Structure 1
């Protein structure tokens, strides 16, 4: 218990002193995860709304596949992306392996199905209510999607925050394609895993506390903003 208490005090001290290494890790983690979440929202939200509007053969199979992708094992995604980005892979010439860009791609692949699913479900309910009106007004698919976005702003916000939470907590995929390089691709989750294995509990606990605070902050902001959107 004494060792644990000392580790906690040391972790709090690192946070309070704004340890440069700790700050670099936090900044990189937030930057990579925010970028991945934004890309996932830009790509996934239109797909989710389109699946609610469109009617074509194989639509239900595509919806089932999209929901199945929610359970993608991160290490498998990381391995697949590693093979694509390695020197012998199709995208090897781009030199993206073991860079923050590769980490963004990995997190985007994991977060996009979440956005699609969280946007599709409420969009389906909204389209059932407003679809006839949209068709009567002759709205195009693009304008219909824009209408669903305007009516379902809360679902967009929820999808983005869920994607961010998924991205910033990721470790398996990004450690494979990022390499956990100190000062370059080391994030909070990969650093926690590494420092714990090394026995450096103060840094691991400090990063863990920051990650926990970020998660609580994201959840709180989500509830507040969704509540405000719902009141309008």
Structure 2
């Protein structure tokens, strides 16, 4: 318990004293995480809607691959991204390895299947009678999708929160593709691992409290939007 209190005290000290490195690490964590979840949403939600509402050959196999991707180990995602971004890899000329962009790509790879899979499941569970009723009212395809998005809002926000949780908790892939370079690719999760390896458990706990606070604030905002009617 003394170690926990020491970590909490250290976290407050870092924030109140304006530790520039901690602020830089926290801001980079926010930047890469929010970028990754935004890209995953822009790709994952439309893809999940399409899979949930349409039928085509090979759909079941595609859903199997997406479900496998939902449990993809982060280190595997990091290995694949590293292979693609390595000098001799297909994207090696882009020079993205050991950069924040590489971390974003790894985080997208681990969160995208979650958002696609959960969004698809939400749309597959829509009552067929609701679809028939919407069509009977003469709604266009765009209007139909919009109405169904509103109907499945709670499930979609849950998918976003699950994807974001995976991103914020991810460390293996970020360490592999980012290299944990000070001032360049060091984020909160990789910093925690580094401090533990150095035996600085108070600093590691302080960083963990900062990370949990960020996760709590973001999740609270998303939950507020998800349950907006219930809060009002």
TM-score w.r.t. the length of structure 2 is 0.89
Q: In the TM superposition, what whole-angstrom CA distance separates every residue of 1:26-61 from its partner, at most 9, and x where no partner exists? A: 100011000000000000001111111111122222
Aligned partner of 1:192 in structure 2 is: 192
**Whole-angstrom distance in 1 between the partners of 2:117 and 2:209:** 30
What's 1:86 paired with? 86
CA distance in 1, matches of 2:230, 2:125: 16
CA separation of 1:155 and 1:95: change in aligned 2, threshold 3 A: same
1:228 corresponds to: 228
What secondary structure, in the 3-state scheme, does the structure 1 residue paired with 2:180 have? coil
For 1:186, what is the secondary structure of its paired residue? coil
Query: Following the alignment from structure 2 to structure 1, what is the Cα–Cα distance between the partners of residues 107 and 75?
Result: 11
Kindly tell me: are residues 73 and 61 of structure 1, through their superposed partners in 2, closer, same or farther at Cα, counting changes over 3 Å? same
Does the 8 Å contact 2:11/2:210 carry over to 1?
no
Once the two structures are TM-superposed, the CA of residue 173 in structure 1 deviates from its matched residue by 0.6
1:177 and 2:143 aligned: no
Partners of 1:135 and 1:112 in 2: how far apart?
Answer: 30
CA distance in 2, matches of 1:187, 1:225: 27
1:31-70 aligned at under 5 Å gives the runs 31-70=31-70
In 2 relative to 1, CA 15–144 (structure 1 residues): closer, same or farther, beyond 3 Å?
same
1:153: which partner in 2? 153
- In 2, Cα distance between equivalents of 1:139 and 1:231: 32
RMSD, matched Cα: 2.3
How far apart in 1 are the matches of 2:17 and 2:108? Answer: 33
**Deviates most, 86-95 or 116-125:** 116-125
Segment of structure 1 superposing worse, 210-219 or 49-58: 210-219
Shift in alpha-carbon separation, 1:212–1:224, aligned structure 2, 3 A: same
Partners of 2:70 and 2:110 within 8 A in 1: yes
Q: Size of the alignment, in residue pairs?
A: 231
Gaps of 5+ in 2: none
Report the TM-score, using the length of structure 1 for normalisation: 0.89
How far apart, in 2, do the equivalents of 1:111 and 1:79 lie?
16
| 1: CA distance, partners of 2:4 / 2:167 | 29
**2:203, 2:37 → 1: CA distance?**
26
